[in-house]
Structure 1
Amino acid sequence: MGEPDRIPDTPILDRQRQLRGYRMNKMAMGLGDPVNREAFKADEPAYLDRFGLSEEEKTAVLTRNWKEMIRLGGNLFFVLKITAVDPIRITEIGAHQVDMDHESFLRDRLGKKV
């Protein structure tokens, strides 16, 4: 995808990555519509195919690999729309992003007592 990210393990949402993630972001934004949420719930692969996602993008969405969705150009604010269908706490997504379990993330990154 061009030059490597300037901050290790931190995908920068630059123009190139933004263009790459257009289809995935468009798909995720569509989940704001209740009709689309129902279509997504009924048949996720078919819903993803409507937006022309690559196999790599589809796998990231179907496995809820948040870190990979972002690496592939997903805008966090858009991919969070998936949580309207498949509820997950944002802190769980944060833990996934830094390869930590949820309790460790809450304790070590947010200073919460768990």
Structure 2
Amino acid sequence: MNQPRPIFGTTIFDGSQARKGYALNRMCFSFNDAANRAAFKADEEGYMRSYALNEQQSAAVRGRDVLGLLAAGGNVYYLAKFAGILGLDVQDLGAQQTGMSKEEFKARLVRQNDQPAATAG
């Protein structure tokens, strides 16, 4: 069986990462409920403890470190809920993942969008 080729700067979300990030993703899923979002904002440390986040996960939450959250087992779909609490959008997350400013990232998306699609030969 072929192993996927690593992509620089990318954490592959597989079964191992899912197990590693279960508590973090469970916490982020809880943010679907407005009362839980408010509880997190009122006491982030207590809220993280109530979901038994490990130190790597807690440090990434404290640091608002998206790449750290992914490395700690976070799934981007659940992390989007956390990002929403912080007032971040998908472009903010993409900028963090690529090491660009949000403006640079948006410009890159526009450039990529302006390129003609490849045609079949």
Q: Offset of 1:110 from its aligned partner?
A: 3.5
Answer whether contact 1:30 1:36 (CA < 8 A) is retained.
yes
CA contact (8 A) 1:31 1:37 kept: yes
RMSD between superposed Cα atoms in Å: 1.6
Provide the TM-score with structure 1 as the length reference. 0.87
**Offset of 1:87 from its aligned partner?**
1.1
In structure 2, what is the Cα distance between the partners aligned to 1:38 and 1:106? 30
Give me the whole-angstrom Cα distance separating, in 1, the residues matched to 2:60 and 2:24: 10
| Alpha-carbon distance change, 90 to 51 in structure 1, aligned in 2, over 3 angstroms | same
Q: Which residue of 1 aligns with 2:33?
A: 33
Which residue identity lines up with residue 84 of structure 1 in the other structure? G
More off after superposition, 5-14 vs 17-26: 5-14
What amino acid sits opposite 2:55 in the alignment? E
Residues of 1 paired with 2:110 and 2:21: CA distance?
A: 29
| Aligned-residue offset at 1:33 | 1.2
- Please name the residue that 2:48 is paired with: 48
CA deviation profile, 1:18-68 (whole Å, cap 9, x unmatched): 110000000000111122111101011110010111111011112111111
Which structure has the bigger radius of gyration?
2
Tell me the SS of whatever aligns to 1:91. Answer: helix
Q: TM-score, normalised by structure 2?
A: 0.82
- Residue number in structure 1 paired with 2:24: 24
Q: Which runs of 5+ in 2 are unaligned?
A: 114-121
Give the structure 1 partner of residue 72 of structure 2: 72
Cα distance 1:38–1:17, how it changes in 2: closer, same or farther (>3 A)?
A: same
Tell me what 2:90 maps to: 90
What stretches of structure 1 of length at least 5 have no aligned partner? Answer: none
User: Number of matched residues?
Assistant: 108
